[in-house]
Structure 1
Amino acid sequence: MPESLVNRCRPLPAGSKLCILGAGFSGGRLAALAAALGIPVISTRREPAPGSGHLTFDSASGQGPDPHQLEGVTHLLNTIPPDRDGNDPVLTTLGDQIKRWPLRWVGYLSTTGVYGNTDGAWVCENDPPQPSQERSRRRLACEQEWQASGLPLQILRLPGIYGPGRSPLAAVKAGTLQPVDKPGQMFCRIHVDDVAAAALHLMHCSAQGQHPEIVNVCDDEPAASVSVHRYAASLLNCELPQPKAFAEAEAGMSAMARSFWADNRRVSNRRLREDLGYELIHPTYRSGLAQCLAVETLRESGTASSQA
């Protein structure tokens, strides 16, 4: 955990206990940040690695933590996606138990996909959701389940999440990335460190009475994917293949890949930054990709223990 990230964040008040249901890429980053700050934290995974410290939570098989392990939780973050029927697995299996916890803040990681397609126009939290993809409709249904729970809920709507080990850098370096150009098509993104730090920032804001129910957590600069790929190539001093026109590339795409290109929107982070005072660690993909490269280079050299 980088000292720079830890030093810019504050621990929760004494007596707090954080529970992260689903300690994957984003949840795991928040769990590590919380631990570095000395915040008591419990985290779960479907199949925890031995010695990881994560508890088992698998709603499909009915496996979950012992209720005693979850006593006293004051802050809860749910990162677990909807089940196949569009229901929230956490509320289905733990809902009654959660409502007995002394919760001060509940966060639900959703998606900016619930806004649907705006043909590149800006959207903010006040715009009505109009999801066009089935996976986004399931997310919206889960948002509504949580909203009906009566808990101190805050929905964090996220775009594509990237970070060290999960960025275009590896594919660009390997020469396997084929850039696609679709004029006017914009994508939003957020670095995983900003997901973790923003979630903690929102917990503090909530304690001070600033608790909007929905917050977009994204960076300052929506951008075309080809622009991101070109920048990644420039960082690596690699040649990028000539971009393929979307009309040509679409024929060879899977249905899932085509669905990512179906929605075109720019998502505003004004509420997060201006209303709630969060300062982004990586305001654009340029800063974020440079950090990814630095960390990945250190990992390859075996000296990244303090930077991971």
Structure 2
Amino acid sequence: MSELSAMIVGCGDVGGRLALQLLNKGWQVSGLRRAVEHLPAGVTPIRADLGQDDLPPEWPSRSPDYLVYCVAADQHDEAGYQAAYVDGLRRVLGWLAQNQQRPRRLLFVSSSSVYAQQQGEWVDETAPTEPHSYSGRIMLAAERLALDSGLAASVVRLTGIYGPGREWLLSQVRQGYRVAEQPPLYGNRIHAEDAAGLMAFLLESDSRGVGLEDCYLGVDDDPAALSEVVAWLREYMGVTHWSDEQRVRRTGSKRCSNARARALGWAPQYPSYKQGYAAILAQP
């Protein structure tokens, strides 16, 4: 059995899925969050508030082999993002330094919001990052903090996460959601289980001595126009009515490529929205 260990900071939905995948592979996993009662069984709890400077009482005496920073902002505004992604990461790095701990690698979970492309362009890890939104700017600052931390580090830029409990689009389609077909509004998705699976794959690869890049895009194989996704869901779900109101998604439109992660050997369990949504809808 492997004796590798990982600390997941922000062990919520995706972090919890990652924890379960690693536990199933024989890893030792600790999870840091405020509400540790929600951690999956088998995860060692670390109760902590990233807004507080004091070292958490349950902080481990031994350094984890891997640190995964996978938090979600409590407030969806500039202050909330700054607190969660920059200040929180700086605090965790400080706790590591305070205990003279050096994980083999830091995995920082970021977002495709760092890209501002809006014309359906294909985007990969080398594409320009010139975000217009505060969320993208703060994510870039947090990425830089991770990459300049003195630890070996990789950033995982996740695209639109969906899965059980993340069913906003399904709800909208049931209500007769409308979306403009021209120009096509391309969106990018990854099932929550695949988001966790990509991170687990990167950690395992690193543990075997595979050289990792400093950035990976987490996305399925099928960036698709939102109108195409809605049309498929309507047919699959048997929705025939239309809402009187035309709703148009935000103007961002880009197509993210997973070629770098696939070249390393990763493949999504749900390669497109069709397999992913069909699995959600098949659940009782």
Specify the TM-score bucket, using the shorter chain as the normaliser: 0.7 to 0.9
Identify the range of structure 1 (28-37 vs 152-161) with the bigger mean alpha-carbon deviation: 28-37
Distance 2:170 2:140 in 1: 32
Which whole-Å CA distance do the structure 1 matches of 2:46 and 2:96 have between them? 16
Within the candidate set 248, 254, 263, 2:252 is matched to 263
Q: 1:85 to 1:75 in 2, by over 3 A?
A: closer
- CA distances 1:254-299 after superposition (whole Å, capped 9, x unpaired): xxxxxx61321111111011x21111111100011111122x32xx
Aligned residue in 2 for 1:7: none
Matched, 1:39 2:27: yes
* 1:86 maps onto 2:82 in alignment: yes
Give the distance between the partners of 1:243 and 1:281, measured in 2 at CA.
36
Instruction: Tell me, in whole angstroms, the C-alpha distance in 2 between the residues paired with 1:68 and 1:55.
Output: 6
Q: Please give the per-residue CA displacement for 1:149-194, whole angstroms capped at 9, x wherever unaligned.
A: 1111010001110012212465157x33523225221010101111
> Structure 1: which 5+ residue stretches go unaligned?
1-12, 251-259, 298-308
Q: Distance in 1 between matches of 2:49 and 2:280?
A: 31
Q: Which amino acid aligns with 1:111?
A: S
Correspondence 1:282 to 2:270: yes
Q: CA RMSD in A?
A: 2.6
Structure 1 position 57, deviation (Å): 2.2
User: Residues 70 and 241 from structure 1, CA distance in 2 versus in 1: closer, same or farther, beyond 3 angstroms?
Assistant: farther
Q: Deviations over 1:232-269 (max 9, x none)?
A: 23332232526865xxx46xxxxxxxxx6132111111
The equivalent residue for 1:28 is 16
Q: Distance in 2 between matches of 1:279 and 1:85?
A: 30
- Call closer, same or farther: CA 1:169–1:97 in 2, change over 3 Å: closer
Maintained 8 Å contact 1:169/1:293: no
Rounded Cα–Cα distance in structure 2 between residues aligned with 1:291 and 1:147:
36
CA distance in 2 between counterparts of 1:213 and 1:146 reads 10
Which shows bigger deviation, 140-149 or 50-59? 50-59
How far apart, CA to CA, are the structure 2 residues paired with 1:188 and 1:237? 24
Aligned residue number for residue 151 of structure 1: 151
Structure 2 match to 1:10: none
Q: Give distance in 2, aligned partners of 1:288 and 1:50.
A: 25
Contact 1:160 1:189 in 2 (8 A): yes
Q: TM-score, normalised by structure 1?
A: 0.78
Equivalences for 1:169-248 in 2 at 5 Å?
Answer: 170-171=170-171, 175-176=174-175, 178-183=177-182, 184-207=184-207, 208-241=209-242, 245=246
Change beyond 3 A, Cα 1:46–1:67: closer
1:168 to 1:96, Cα distance in 2 relative to 1, 3 A = closer
* Counterpart for residue 136 of structure 1: 136
Q: Any conservation in 2 of the 1:179–1:225 contact (CA below 8 Å)?
A: no
Structure 1 residue 210 displacement after superposition? 2.1
The change in CA–CA distance for 1:147 and 1:102 in structure 2 (over 3 A counts) is: closer
Letter in 1 for 2:89: L
Q: Which residue of 2 aligns with 1:256?
A: none
Q: For residues 270 and 223 of structure 2, what CA distance do their matches in structure 1 show?
A: 13
Unaligned regions of 5+ residues in structure 2, if any?
74-78
Matched, 1:122 2:118: no
What are the residue-to-residue correspondences of 1:292-307 with 2, within 5 Å? 292-294=280-282, 296-297=283-284
Q: Structure 1 residues 182 and 65, CA, compared in 2 at 3 Å: closer, same or farther? A: farther
CA distance in 2, matches of 1:240, 1:217: 34
Q: Residues 197-218 of structure 1, C-alpha deviation per residue, up to 9 Å, x if partnerless?
A: 1111111222323210000010
CA separation of 1:240 and 1:45: change in aligned 2, threshold 3 A: farther
Question: Could you say what secondary structure the match of 1:49 adopts?
Answer: helix
Contact 1:172 1:229 in 2 (8 A): no
Quick check: 1:165–1:292 contact (8 Å CA) kept in 2?
no
Secondary structure at 1:23 match in 2 = coil
Tell me the distance in 2 between the aligned counterparts of 1:263 and 1:50.
Answer: 34
Q: What secondary structure, in the 3-state scheme, does the structure 2 residue paired with 1:239 have?
A: coil
Answer whether contact 2:81 2:135 (CA < 8 A) is retained.
Answer: no
How far is 1:25 from its partner?
1.7
